[in-house]
Amino acid sequence: MSQTSHHTVQIQGQSVFYREAGDPSAPTVVLLHGFPSSSAMFRDLIPALAADYHVIAPDHLGFGQSAMPQVDEFDYSFDTLTEITLELLDTLGIERFAIYIQDYGAPIGLRIAARNPERVSAIITQSGNAYLDGFTPFWEVLFAHASDRATHEPEVRKLLELDATKWQYTHGVPVDKLALISPDTWTLDQSYLDRPGNKEIQLQLFFDYKNNLDGYPEFQKYFAEHRPPTLIAWGEHDEIFGADGARAYLRDLPDAELHLLDAGHFALETHGPEIAALIGDFLGRVVR
């Protein structure tokens, strides 16, 4: 089994952390994490894929072990996080790759794919929206905050506290599978959120998130024109990005493979081996 190694490189003057495993000469899979997690969410998936693939999993700036410049020192937006990710891949000499996108990883990965379609060999999406379908009531306060930060910030800040972080992992999970979720997950994520200045970073990204929706037509046009091989492995009970967001991909990607799992937002925690098997079978057929 390939061991995972841990690295930091300088990108645009910032330290970017990433995990790596597998043979660099094998096809590359890039794993892009969501909020409020880090590449640690892929700790079990990385070795599962590394026997056959070269795997890269970075931490976005402001998350995990990557640099966390203060919000007044860096332009925290999904456009800039995309630039950092693409420059990381260029620095590592990775020309072509499949992407696994979850939550925040979706607007980052799909910007890269839509603007560089020749570089993306396949897409695996797990609670990674590209359509207006699937936005749940969870988002109401966030979109209100995007229109009026001062009024809604106190309510939105509650999403950065431990109860909300734990809920992201436990909601929608069948009772008999709750014991599969390690408390380390939300404890680690919360420790990163509780660093001085990090909540201000997250509030800025919450504010910027609405701009991702403006990119959806570009993403959908990319799907329809380029038909990238796509695997959808999605928690059917996700109360953040509902299952309608998974089904929506089929409008522009009728050949996409859809699997709705008996899981919530962080489906890897309860269905990791199943998702790894789906990915292995999928990539084995579509990536050469």
In the β-sheet with 257-261, what is the strand arrangement from edge to edge? 5-11, 14-21, 54-58, 28-32, 97-101, 120-125, 230-235, 257-261
Residues 6+ apart with CB under 8 A from 52: 22, 26, 280, 283, 284
Q: Which of 33, 145, 265, 271 is the catalytic position?
A: 265
**Phi, psi (rounded to 5 degrees) for 208:** -80, -20
**Of 232, 238, 224, residue with least CA distance to 278:** 232
Q: How far is CA 32 from CA 123, 139, 173, 178, 273, in A?
A: 11, 21, 22, 24, 18
Instruction: Please count the residues of the chain.
Output: 288
Output the CA torsion 63→59→50→286 (10° steps). 110
Question: Is residue 9 within 8 Å of residue 91, measured between CB atoms?
Answer: yes
271 as an active site residue: the answer is no
Q: What's the rounded Cα separation, in Å, for the pair 9 and 237?
A: 37
SS3 181: coil
**Of 121, 116, 117, 85, residue with least CA distance to 230:** 121
**Catalytic residue IDs:** 265
